[in-house]
Structures are given as C-alpha cells and as structure tokens.
Structure 1
Amino acid sequence: MTATATRVLVLNSGSSSVKYQLLDMRDGARLAVGLVERIGEENSRLVHTPLATDGAKRETEGPIADHEAALKAVAAELAADGLGLDSPELAAIGHRVVHGGQEFTAPTVIDDAVLAEIERLVPVAPLHNPANITGIRTAQALRPDLPQVAVFDTAFHTTMPEYAARYAIDTETADAHRIRRYGFHGTSHAYVSRKTAELLGKDPSEVNVIVLHLGNGASASAVAGGRCVDTSMGLTPLEGLVMGTRSGDIDPAVTFHLKRVAGMDEDEVDVLLNKKSGLIGLCGDNDMREIRRRIDEGDERARLAFDVYIHRLKKYIGAYSAVLGRVDAVAFTAGVGENAAPVREAAIAGLEEMGMAVDASLNAVRSDEPRMISPDYARVAVAVVPTDEELEIAQQTYALVNA
C-alpha cells in the first residue's frame, strides 16, 4: 500500500446481488456507490452513481452471469470515472461477512486460513456466508496484491458474557454444533452506539445505550460502556424482534407442532418463519408506511400487526433496561427506526416511569443528522441516529491495514 492510498472499496455480496461503495478515508467522503442485482438472470441490473464527479446515476440492464462478471462490471464503471480498481490510491477492499462465529472478534485480513474458517461457518449462516465467500474470492482474483479485509456482523457481539450468549440446552450438543447466540447487525450497533455517545458529548466508555436497529430485519442490543452485553438475534437472524417477514421470538415447539399437525417439513417451516411471518404474515404488508396508511383507514389487521410489533419492541426495551441497570440513551436507527415517527412514539409511550419520553414536535422532524427527540426533562435520552454500516466497515478496514 502506498502512502497516497486512502480509498477503501466496501463490498456487500448477497446471493444474487453486490452492493458497493468507494470511500476516501481522509474525510469519509463517498466517491461512488452502486448496486448489481439479479445476478445470474437475463435481466440483471447495475445502478452506479459517481458521487466524485457529476453524481449522475447510470443504469444498465442485461445478463450478468455470476459474481465475477458483476465485479468486473463494477470495476469498469469505476474506471470510467477515473476510480478504477488498479488505482494506487486504493488501500484495501473491505467485505461485509455476516457470520464470524466465536473465532472472529475484530476485522481480519483475509488469507487462506481465514477463508477456510468462514467456509466452516456456512452451516450456521447458509443464506449469507456462501455469497460473502464468492465476493471475497472474486475480489481476490481481480486484485490479488491488495489487502482484503473481512468485517463481521457478529464481531461486535462477541463481548457478550457467556451467560447471555448461552442457550439453556445440553452443553455438549450446543458446543458440538456451535449453537449459541451470536447476534447480527453488529457494524450498525457499533456505529450507532458510538455516535449516540458523541451526541451526548461523552466518551462511549461512559455511556449505556439501547440500540434499536429497525429495518426489514430488526435487532436490539444492550451496549454498556461501548461493549455489547446482550442482543436480540441469536444463532441466526430469526430470533428477537418482530421483523418485516421474520417471526422473531417464538415457542420452539411451534416447529414440532407444524411438522406433526400440519405435515410441514423443515424447509417449509424455515420459509414460513423467515419469509412469511412477521409483519407480512400478520397483515400482508412488510412496509411500515403502507401499514400506517392502512391503520389510518381503519384496517384492523394492520393495527394488530403494528401493535404486535410495538409490544415486542417495548419488551426488549424493558429487558435491556434491566440488563444494563442504568440507561443513558435509547437510539433508533435503520429504515424504520430513522423514518417512522409513529413507531418511535408508540415504542416509548408509557415508559415515563423509566425516565423515557418523546417530544412530539422533535419526533416529527425529518433529518439525516443524529438528533434528540426526547424532552429536556427526560432522564433517559431518546435519539434518532442514522446508521452507516458502509462507513463503519471502511473505517475498520482502513484502520487495520494502516495499523
């Protein structure tokens, strides 16, 4: 890496998509952002926005056979803007890797041993790690001389004490099959908890925060002095809060019941709980804006779905208040958390005895900046803190290769 290398390319490889951002780490500025979707189909689509130049979005459609072809197409778009992967200013490529197990507790430079361990974790992340691995291998082939860094969704949560990470099942069985609470959305929880401390004018080590990452996938975390001590997602991203299409917490015996009584097999139950449950299972919609519109029109199914969603959210706020003992702030983030004022209002309503309240006028403000929405008299700050997982991945990647 040269002294002038200050750029980091962040890659988030899904099973049929690649999201990417190129950032300049001198100031965190985005030079380009984009998305390749429907990889492997005839109608693949690449959307590229060169923010370093005119910022005019470019879209192309046509068959993109695989991830290698996708990344080559991305490289061509970047090169057209003078931002090519062969630039001496590119310091590293940072990869979002969903599952790092107990093995990876920090960003890690990828070598053969690291890649082999990520592969060994595929059984506990069959939907995510294989795509992450494909993205890594493709990027390595394009720039074998460049540091490739894995930043793990699970890493921030590896500070959980053993009593929070353990499930109460037979220890030998759990250990043999790596069954424990890992947690996800870790880059978001790390970034938002740190930004919340900044908003309070304090060092992260001085602040206890409940972070509510509410998107189509949703998770909560209890962060004490900058360290995660509990989180809602578990072995997989299915556990915890009610989500767009995922059930969240459910009696495990429901799965046995569905097999015995409904004749459903494992795959059918998996699809039900991951893709046909949550908000979409309750009311047929997983877009909170549409649900609120239906509620305003008197739709009772939408109202019930919203109430179930909020009830689960309140339970976790209460539980994590107990886990932390002292709460300095509750931070809402991600698509729903940042934009759905009714969700924030309903989640905090009735928690005044816990020192939490929302100011209606502050809550109604729309902004891309971190902001307080609690009244001055509230003992616990309530904040909206836009997340930036790509910047977090880039910062961790750049810090590692410059260490």
Structure 2
Amino acid sequence: MDNTHHWITTPLTADLLRGALDIERTEHGVLPHRLPARARAQCTDPQLAMAEAQPSGVRLVFRTRATAVELDTLPTKRAYVGAPPRPDGLYELLVDGRPAGRASVPGGNTVTIDMTTGTVESRPGTPGTLRFADLPDALKTVEIWLPHNETTELVALRTDAPVEPAEPDPDRRVWLHHGSSISHGSDAAGPTTTWPALAASLGGVELINLGFSGSALLDPFTARAMRDTPADLISVKIGINVVNHDVMRLRAFTPAVHGFLDTLRDGHPTTPLLVVSPLLCPIHEDTPGPCAPDFTDIAEGRLRFRALGDPAESTTGKLTLRIIRDELSRIVAGRATDDPHLHYLDGRALYGEPDATALPLPDDLHPDAETHRHIGERFAELAFTADGAFASPVGAVVGPPR
C-alpha cells in the first residue's frame, strides 16, 4: 500500500456494485454472484458454480474526488495441465464513462484442472492490490469493471478522498441478458469489451450479464432469477450449450423454451423480450453434440473442439444449431401473436457465413477479441436502433459516456 496518501477505507457494500444479483460474505471480504443463493442451491454442477461466480459485467461504481484508488482482491486463477499459463484477469477503470486504466492482481488462489482426467486441485493464496493513480481532482463517477473470467473476492477499497454510491441514472434502461460462454465473454480482450458490455455501452443501457460459460441450458432457476430481477429490456441467447452438452432432444427442448419464456413473463409481462438463436458454429450446424476438447496442440496453447454426434441422428430428435434456429423462430412467431413485445433475432445476423470466413473461430467454438467487438457492434445496430427490439424511447440518452 502506498503511504504517501491519506487513505480512506470504504466498506464494500451492495450499493457500490452493479451487475451482481447476490453478494456472499467470505472470510476475506465479499464475493459477487450472478445467481442468487436459492438458484445456486438447486444445482451442484461445478461448471456453473465457477461461471456464475466469475463477475462478467460486474463493476464497482461510485462518486468521488479521489485522485488515487486502491482495491485489494483475492482472485482465483485457473490453470490447465499441459497448457501454457493463462493471463491474469483484467480490471478496467472508467472515469465518467471513458476508459482510464487497466490493471491485474497477481497471485491469489489457484485451481489446476486436468481436462483429460477431470481432476481438480485447489491451492489457496493471498490477496493482492491493484492501484489507479493520477485521476482528475474533481467530482466524478468511477467504475472498476471486474475480470469477466476470474472469480474475484473483494477485500478492501481505499481512496484518498471520500466515496459515495453513484445513483443509477433514471433515464438509462437496465438490460438483462442470458447466454452461454460467448455472452459470458469467452476470449474477449477485457470486461468492457465482451460483446454484451460493448453493446450496452453503444446502446446507452445498464447491463446485467447472466452469460454463464457452458451453462445456458434453459435451467428453471435461471429463469426465476431473471423473473425476479428488475429490468427494462431482456434477451436470452439459447442453443449452443443445449447442443454441445447434448442435454435434450427436440421433444424436451420445445416445452423447455416455452417454460423459460413463461417464467420470464410472470415477472415481466410487457418488457421487450428478445430471443436470440445461436451464432454460426460450423462444427454444430448439422452435427449434434456432444462436443469435446481436442488436446492435440494443447502444449502450444491451442485447444480446439470437435462435435462427436452423428448427423443422421438429427432425424430422431437430436439437436443441431440449424434445428434449434428453426424451432426458436417457430416458437417466437407463435407466441408473438399474443405477445407483441416478444421478438426474435437469428444469431447468424450477428455472426454468419461471411463472418466465419473473415473472422474464423480460433478453437472452432468461441470468438476472439476482434469478433466480440464485431458481434457487440452488430447487436447494438440490430437491437437498439429505430427498428430494433430495444429501440430507444423518445428522448432517451443513447451511447457513452455512462
């Protein structure tokens, strides 16, 4: 800790956080969650537990005159046997909505995963500190976006001037989004440039991102969490995880989608609701799941994925992305006759055949940083502009600064 400043420690409370649905008190501080405790209690899957505790879209937001900010956190890093080390998670600073710095916290807990055997080894670590200095000496809104792909316990917040919560702008609508690892952020460059974060910035809305890596499976507890979360706009991106986990057939998929949408409508009867079908993913367009990692080039840092299903089985109800898009389109069209606020977006409008040629998926499943930017800009153009499902009400403020 830099002792040249007169530091003020501010308790880390819920009114300083946005994008989290729950906060767990831990031995070290507070752990933001993107699913409430009741939902977490209904699923013991370690993949979901990891994903929902990674704070994609979660940020500290406060008003202050401080010229220096320090944040102590305890990150949990993931390491994969046989693979090169993963980069430390990235924290991004915004001052009055504009980028003003980036930092990482080294060390912390380590979870080592052997993807060939499924074994996991945990090693405890100690908290670290990130620091942003030379900020403008004026009252301002400070945002610290937490790493989208690294579990982060918040330990202490210190500033050289008092801090107060930043009241949400009543003119900025809240956008609640649910999706898979691509919505979570997969290989985005940082927390403010996952495609949902970028689209939210371009659309001038407040994001709550319930993108869960490997876990967009039409889970009823996720639908109930969304039902109970105040929001002005809602989107659900459905399909890729259902296919690559091979968790259901068409017979189960259709009523599961209806049930998910029914639950959302129980809490948000007239909120604009956008159903987004899968982006183009060539390995699963006509080949069902399951999907499995290919470790051939893992030592060089290259992991790829393969579809293991038999295309012939799609005639007996196994799901492919093409089948899912057709079914989602049909479901939304049928429901929209009684629900004028329900909309459909074909995911290939965000990433389709021409995009796959220009911006191929490096591991055959997830987009890279440049493709996240492309998807976010495309979504903002299709959803938030005049003819989109999320078209701004007259007089609304659209776009940065926050």
TM-score range, shorter chain: 0.3 to 0.5
The structure whose RCO (Cα within 8 Å, separation 6+) is larger is 2
**Under a length normalisation based on structure 1, what TM-score does the superposition of the two structures give?**
0.32
The structure in which a higher percent of residues are helix is 1
What TM-score, normalized to structure 2? 0.32
More strand by share: 2
